[in-house]
Amino acid sequence: MPDRAFRRAVSRQQRHHAQDALAQETARLICEERITDYRSAKHKALQRLGLGPHTPLPDNLRVRDAVIEYQRLFGGARYVAHLDALRRAAVQAMTLLASFQPQLVGGAVSGAVTLAHRAQLHAFAERPESLELFLQNRGIAVRQQERSYRYPDGREQSIPLVCLEAGGVGLDIAVFDHDGLRRIPLDPVEGTPYRRFDLAAVQALMR
């Protein structure tokens, strides 16, 4: 029995080390190769480390924390400048779009960004096209797309997405109806409802 318990403990420790190595390699790939999809990066890390396809993958939170740590160690001034640019662009957009109650989400909040990342905003309108028209009437070029969001009850919903460039960085604005203020979709990284930062909270991040 003691031998069996010891083997189980060793096995758990080996799995833990394998997941640490995978999370770190995944973070390196995300940062160096500008991969934005965590799942793709995890599978690429598996191949790079020569691990089998049935190796347990680290969760997204572990990868996110590894990305932040990697950027802290190796991102340097370029990372700091890009994160600052994302947040500044968000503040400018949120100020302009105040009537749409915009809120910042995602990597620009947590700091888990690379040069491939864009600022992500949630905004709210009775008619989604009203935000696009608001920007176009001010001479701002936009592209319209859609993004699928998953909710805590398991349902998925496609939400209109308005994309633009500002200050050298990209902005993606998901336009929810007003019910979206209280019905918050799941953050695919954290697995919990998105942390939404209003203008004051974003400005506090930058101090």
pLDDT digits (tens, 9 = 90+) for 79-133: 999 999 999 999 999 999 999 999 999 999 999 999 999 999 999 999 989 999 9
What percent of the chain clears pLDDT 70, i.e. is strictly above it? Answer: 92
- pLDDT above 90 (res 51): no
Contact of 193 with 185, CB cutoff 8 Å: yes
Sign of torsion over alpha carbons 185, 186, 188, 194: positive
pLDDT computed for residue 13 by the predictor: 55
Query: How does residue 5 score in pLDDT terms, banded at 50, 70 and 90?
Result: very low
pLDDT average, residue stretch 183-207: 96
Residue type, 198: D
User: Can you give the pLDDT at residue 167?
Assistant: 80
Name 98's bridge partners: none
pLDDT of the residue at 16: 61
17 pLDDT higher than 90: no
Instruction: Give Cβ neighbours of residue 1 (< 8 Å, ≥ 6 apart).
Output: none
- Higher pLDDT, residue 18 or 74: 74
Domain ranges of the chain: 2-58, 77-205
The class of domain 77-205 in CATH terms is alpha beta
pLDDT at position 53: 82
- Residue pLDDT, tens place only, 123-176: 999 998 999 999 999 999 999 999 999 999 999 999 999 999 988 899 999 999
